[in-house]
Structure 1
Amino acid sequence: MNNNDVFILAIESSCDDTSAAVLKNDKVLSNVVANQKIHEEYGGVVPELASRAHQQNIVPVVHQALHRANIDKNKLSAIAFTRGPGLMGSLLVGTSFAKSLSMGLDIPLIDVNHMQAHILAHFIDEPEFPKPEFPFLALTISGGHTQIVLVKDFFDMEVIGETIDDAVGEAFDKSAKVLGLPYPGGPLIDRNAKEGNPKAFEFPIPKVGELNFSFSGLKTSILYFVEKSLEQDPEFIEKNMNDICASIQYTIVEILMKKLRKAVKITGINRIAICGGVSANSGIRNRLKKAEGDYGWTTYIPKFEYTTDNAAMIGIVGYHKFLNKDFTDETATAQARFSL
């Protein structure tokens, strides 16, 4: 063990996953995630239930992260935690725990922006996944966010496009609900789409500002299409599930790619990184890899486990903030809204 090594314990609790990770510099030693299955019964995340589950999970999850990393808590250099954005009740659990532990161990406390962490997850040391060169464009796509971010440096980021209404992950999940698929429905649309014809049904591409997104109109058009089709044939969904899913996914991917092409044209930057939970979608991943040949882009797709909410991405931000001695203190408060 090098005396200059930095050991970060990271805590993520922004939504419904309780996660803790230990990083040695930029390398992940452990990354533990406790999912909350209870929300499946309600078709979406219930904030009050989420915060209660975090309270139950956080101690065993942190204990397991330290155990798997084979490191004693007294060897830690700092505690990093998600300050926001996210669900306030969920954030409070992680924030309070991180502050208490940093005070108890008398080590620095580092607050992290959840969206910044999704982007910087690309800088975790993973030999098979090259790190982007600055500057690059990040397409941040999740259940709560859809943004195009111009990333000039680790902590110099500018949002140049974002959704004006719903996020892309919500569009996937709500479309799945219309089709009678259980929550979370996005991965199920992806799975069914692999067996379907993406050109079977046509859905509208919304026309909004230069680099901004809109998904509310698409959700409505899918709902009306399905309702009308069911009137004509009550078994329409059952007969056409794969084709419907493939057509929905194709349309959403086209919306994202259209804006990315415009962003590349405006900025002159052709290095593209995707991040966030929806970056696990195979349709988006395949389309982005195809863009390397079609447009000459260099694309960066994160390791699967770093796409959805996880503490390893919080830890990599914590590591770089630690190098900059960018610490916070016990007065730091959780923020449901926390801009880049």
Structure 2
Amino acid sequence: MNKSGYILGIDTSNYTTSLSLVDLMGNLVDDIRMMLPVELGNVGLRQSDALFHHIKNIPQASKPLMDNIKLKGELVAIAAATTPRPVKDSYMPVFMAAKSYGETIANILQIPFYEFSHQEGHIEAGIWSIDRKVNKEFMVLHISGGTTELLKVDKTNSGYNIEIAGGTSDLSAGQFIDRIGVKLGLPFPAGPTLEELALKWRGNSIEIPVSVKQTEVSFSGPETFLRRKINEIKSKEQIAYSVFSCIGSSLSKLIINGFNKYPLEDIIIVGGVAANSQIKSLIKGAKKLQNINIHFADSRYCSDNAVGIAILGLNNYLRRNKV
């Protein structure tokens, strides 16, 4: 059995084209991400437009990525995010780009092709980034541009069994951030620039009503409340700070209620919103969360990426081949 080689991971989410290479030791060789263009003032892309950009981006991203393995080894497997979640009938057109390119390359090279969900990729990237082994049930808080879900997770041989334990009843945390950010004239996705504004604020937070019932959180009410207040508030910095304060407080309550229902030991927090320093600080500082093992994914691997997909592919390849 060949002891050298690489696994290629591909993920084509709503707003990022991602390609990653890992070697058979689980080391990240390269990680290339290309953000999809969104016109200023818009709060997203149509699926057809996003798919078009992925089709254009993958060939551009693949050349520098594959240059790194010339004369060093060869591709032995390809893994792709082909669905949003690991459940029946989970589907979004954007993931067809990853599936189509990945499966075609695998067929041509006559190597294995492994399919996973985008959500499993987020979880695996988070676990890999903190170098943590998990062999039992644990909780995951997945907070991103399109998702706010509290998950009960159990690792399987090939990926994860995931049960939704709670989450948003309307807007995701990322949508709340983006809608307010775009309203303030910031580019989409608004998270990074809104955070820059928030870090400059030194005063009090606007008292935005927090809406959490059991394991269900709502951000539509806070968004509506803040939209009505925007013209009255002179400081964009205060608005930005208040958005993240509201989200941090809401998610802290959601986690507390989730662990009251499912008394597990650990929670891993993943997704683009998990990279926000203010939200991290609020969750870590919540008194009622002090007895829960909270693990934030490394901020570099919180946002959409193909690293977790590549690692899942590696795990499957090693299990099937005694390398």
Pairwise TM-score range, normalised by the shorter structure:
0.7 to 0.9
Match for residue 186 of structure 1 among 183, 191, 201: 191
Tell me the equivalent position of 1:95: 99
Q: Distance in 1 between matches of 2:203 and 2:304?
A: 29
> SS of the counterpart of 2:242?
helix
> SS of the counterpart of 2:141?
strand
Tell me the equivalent position of 2:305: 310
Tell me the equivalent position of 2:16: 17
After superposition, where does 1:190-209 map in structure 2 within 5 Å?
190-197=195-202, 199-208=204-213
Tell me the equivalent position of 1:109: 113
Q: Distance in 2 between matches of 1:194 and 1:310?
A: 25
After superposition, where does 1:246-265 map in structure 2 within 5 Å?
246-265=241-260
Tell me the equivalent position of 2:33: 33
Contact 1:198 1:246 survives alignment (8 Å): no
Shift of 1:215: 1.3
Tell me the equivalent position of 1:216: 220
Once the two structures are aligned, what percentage of the paired residues are identical? 26
Shift of 1:247: 1.6
Shift of 1:306: 1.1
1:117-146, Cα deviation, whole Å (9 max, x unpaired)? 11111332x5xx331543321110001111
Higher share of residues assigned helix:
1
Letter of the aligned partner of 1:253 in structure 2?
G
> SS of the counterpart of 1:152?
strand
Letter of the aligned partner of 1:21 in structure 2?
S
Contact 1:291 1:297 survives alignment (8 Å): no
Contact 2:79 2:102 survives alignment (8 Å): yes
Please report the RMSD computed on the Cα atoms of aligned residues, expressed in angstroms: 2.6
Within the alignment, does 1:57 sit opposite 2:46 as a pair?
no
Against the structure 1 CA distance between its residues 100 and 300, is the aligned structure 2 distance closer, same or farther, given a 3 Å change threshold?
same
Tell me the equivalent position of 1:332: none
> SS of the counterpart of 2:211?
coil
Tell me the equivalent position of 1:171: 176
> SS of the counterpart of 2:205?
coil
1:73-118, Cα deviation, whole Å (9 max, x unpaired)? x722211011112984432222111111011001111111001111
Against the structure 1 CA distance between its residues 318 and 265, is the aligned structure 2 distance closer, same or farther, given a 3 Å change threshold?
same
Tell me the equivalent position of 2:82: 83
Against the structure 1 CA distance between its residues 88 and 263, is the aligned structure 2 distance closer, same or farther, given a 3 Å change threshold?
closer
Tell me the equivalent position of 1:335: none
Q: Distance in 1 between matches of 2:307 and 2:287?
A: 28
Contact 2:137 2:264 survives alignment (8 Å): yes
Q: Distance in 2 between matches of 1:226 and 1:307?
A: 29
Shift of 1:291: 4.8
Match for residue 141 of structure 1 among 132, 140, 143: 143
Shift of 1:48: 3.1
> SS of the counterpart of 1:100?
helix
Against the structure 1 CA distance between its residues 278 and 207, is the aligned structure 2 distance closer, same or farther, given a 3 Å change threshold?
closer
Against the structure 1 CA distance between its residues 321 and 213, is the aligned structure 2 distance closer, same or farther, given a 3 Å change threshold?
farther
Shift of 1:22: 1.0
Q: Distance in 2 between matches of 1:84 and 1:115?
A: 8
Contact 1:196 1:242 survives alignment (8 Å): yes
